[in-house]
Structure 1
């Protein structure tokens, strides 16, 4: 797998210690730079108390400056790791600001703690969902208070189509999953679901024997593609296949729950080459109920709508890394 080079970690200075540790570990393992980012949302001017404050912009700048100070203190705790560290604080919409930083900073991985774990047992909050929709790089949402390593990694691929875009996305999903499973000494499970579209009316029109034959051919082709994908991509010894008939979202959710999965890796379907995006029905349905950490991957050619406007307020002294402790080899001894 091609190593990550520029990792962005979106963090809350008062929280996220376990997620920060994981982000630092990833930077060490990939010999990557790491940027710690926090977003200060604009003050709600409609609130009566704030109407009495004449300099709301100055107040926001003060909050942002204090947030930057906190991130600098956190970054200093990890300076001994040898990871090149930077700190960025912006003011604005959280999801949009993060994506702007991903684009301008040319980040190839976004790491964030998944918010919303206490709401209806769902792990992903609105900001996380937005980032999965519009961020152009892989988005790794880590379960809050994650401790230890991953024991079970599930890679969800679509083997019902052999078009180039889907094949490339499947390859990237499995390559990432394999690399993570290998590093974590985890079991790797590959899941793919298939079904006959409009099966009931087709049976009425064409007859059971024809549809049964179509089903046998489709299942065989799915199994061949999954076998071929695993053969070309997977290097870990402990890999298990799960080929199921039925709605993909249902089958993925069932497997994730049954295996007590630690990490789910899957793609998001989108229009490519245009500044517009919709998260696919399967991904939307699965991720809305997921309780484990997730890593989502975009198809090649994806263009974020945020790319049209990169202007924003950035609170930083300069564009140089705060800690530029480059060496030929990262020191494995760090705060975590």
Structure 2
């Protein structure tokens, strides 16, 4: 079972003990993990420094320091915790903190209850989703305590010439983390795999000449192939997660037909999912652009918290020397 040992919580200037911080403290407590709270204050451009009073800046720093200290004091006695203020570009400083201190999870509160696009996609959030080397958990400010339903999204990849499933390493990470979260939260655990039959529309077209029974047989074969693949994946997950944990979370499987970018948001809404665990995969080959089209379309259309996981071997384009 995946356990986090060095968690980084990204605070904001409000200082409110939000659900995200409750989850961060609870997760650190259950895993006996170290918790670090940071708050990044924007660096004032050099050309504006002459317009800013040093006294005013010092007062701002003290106020922000009081904010992180208040959070640390709230969690004191429950977990090993430290807090710090950092000056710079927020997403860069968060990622540098991850690189410098080898954090294995970043937790951040996002937005309000205004809607999916408003609450999720701040520039800091998107940059962390694209470039942070460790998993990023973006938690709705008004999300539930405790978490009631977790959903893991797994993806099928065509077998290469060597017969290896190239998606398996990322699927394993998704299932391990989602299963672990469902276990510690004692929540429902759902596993979804959306599939489509390539060429169906063409086969049903008037020019293809395929009869309906032939097309239906083809679609049924594809359906069985994907169900068989998911069954094999979950069989492996029993070992990855651990038999005791796997049996305790008892995953409920969903294998709907359709595009993942349509199916996953709809299913997440219907099942009232609290946390969606998914891998973010890019096939562009451009460093830092880690969100693929499907993942990005899903993220824009959901209204629940997200735990986003990079594929094994991902290297952030951010360095400590930038």
Structure-2-length-normalised TM-score: 0.84
Contact 2:112 2:141 in 1 (8 A): no
Shift of 1:311: 3.9
Shift of 1:223: 0.7
Moved more, 121-130 or 217-226: 121-130
SS of residue in 1 equivalent to 2:99 = helix
Alignment of 1:169-180 (within 5 A): 169-180=170-181
Shift of 1:101: 1.2
| Cα distance in 2, alignment partners of residues 151 and 119 from structure 1 | 20
CA deviation digits over 1:27-46, x for unaligned, max 9?
11111111101111234678
Counterpart for residue 288 of structure 2: 276
Structure-1-length-normalised TM-score: 0.81
* Inter-CA distance 259–90: structure 2 relative to 1 (3 Å threshold): same
CA deviation digits over 1:298-317, x for unaligned, max 9?
110111111xx3147xxxxx
Answering whether residue 75 of structure 2 is matched by residue 72 of structure 1, we say no
Shift of 1:143: 1.2
Counterpart for residue 33 of structure 2: 32
| Cα distance in 2, alignment partners of residues 115 and 93 from structure 1 | 19
SS of residue in 1 equivalent to 2:141 = coil
Shift of 1:65: 4.9
Shift of 1:212: 4.4
Counterpart for residue 156 of structure 2: 159
SS of residue in 2 equivalent to 1:159 = coil
Contact 1:271 1:302 in 2 (8 A): no
CA deviation digits over 1:250-275, x for unaligned, max 9?
01011001111111111101359973
SS of residue in 2 equivalent to 1:42 = coil
Could you tell me which runs of 5 or more consecutive residues in structure 2 were left unpaired when the two chains were aligned.
Answer: 239-245
Counterpart for residue 210 of structure 2: 207
Contact 2:9 2:108 in 1 (8 A): yes
1:310 pairs with one of 289, 297, 320: 320
Counterpart for residue 104 of structure 1: 100
CA deviation digits over 1:216-256, x for unaligned, max 9?
33222211121122223251354211111111110101100
Contact 1:272 1:302 in 2 (8 A): no
Contact 1:64 1:91 in 2 (8 A): no
Alignment of 1:77-96 (within 5 A): 77-81=74-78, 83-96=79-92
* Inter-CA distance 165–88: structure 2 relative to 1 (3 Å threshold): farther
Root-mean-square deviation (CA), in Å? 2.8
Counterpart for residue 237 of structure 2: 233
Contact 1:109 1:139 in 2 (8 A): yes
1:222 pairs with one of 218, 221, 226: 226
| Cα distance in 2, alignment partners of residues 179 and 270 from structure 1 | 25
Contact 1:274 1:302 in 2 (8 A): no
CA deviation digits over 1:44-92, x for unaligned, max 9?
678xxx5761667x865663454234312431332211x2212232222
Answering whether residue 37 of structure 2 is matched by residue 41 of structure 1, we say no
| Cα distance in 1, alignment partners of residues 142 and 89 from structure 2 | 25
| Cα distance in 2, alignment partners of residues 142 and 296 from structure 1 | 11
| Cα distance in 1, alignment partners of residues 313 and 215 from structure 2 | 36
| Cα distance in 1, alignment partners of residues 237 and 177 from structure 2 | 10
Aligned residues: 305
Answering whether residue 11 of structure 2 is matched by residue 11 of structure 1, we say yes
Shift of 1:131: 1.1
Contact 2:195 2:259 in 1 (8 A): yes
* Inter-CA distance 16–290: structure 2 relative to 1 (3 Å threshold): farther
Counterpart for residue 243 of structure 2: none
